Amino acid sequence: MNFWRKEWNWKLMLRQPEFITREMVEEVKPEVRANKRLDEALNVEFEAYDEGLSAQVMHIGPFEEEGATIARLHQFIQENGYEPHGLHHEIYLTDARKVPPEKLRTIIRQQIRKA
């Protein structure tokens, strides 16, 4: 199974402790690139993310089956007088390299606004 499909438009985000600053991230990027041989380290960006009002659902199972869960989430949003706003994001609670697909747990979170 290919978890990192090239046709997907995605961004990996890692929460950082409050004391980490943009300057600290920029300072270590060349070192990480050199020591870990990761050219991608130079693409790391430091950014704040505030999703605002959101609805979320837990998806249990393979990533390929998330479509039905997202459809149920969107139905819930609309039934409660809201509409999706922006892209949804996913929070992976299990490691896809270590857990069988049927036991993967993913929180799917969608920004919303009043319809």
Q: Are the C-beta atoms of residues 63 and 99 closer than 8 Å to each other?
A: no
CA distance 99 to 72: 24
With a threshold of 0.95, does the pTM exceed it?
no
Tallying the residues shown for the chain, one arrives at 115
pLDDT (tens digit, 9 = 90+) per residue, 36-53?
887 888 888 898 888 899
Most confident residue range from 64-68, 77-81, 82-86, 92-96: 77-81
Amino acid making up residue 15: R
Question: DSSP readout, 42-95?
Answer: GG---------SEEEEEEES-GGGHHHHHHHHHHHHHHTTEEE-S--EEEE-S-
How confident is the model at residue 1, as a pLDDT? Answer: 44
Q: Which domains does the chain have, with CATH numbers?
A: 10-49 (no CATH), 54-114 (3.20.80.10)
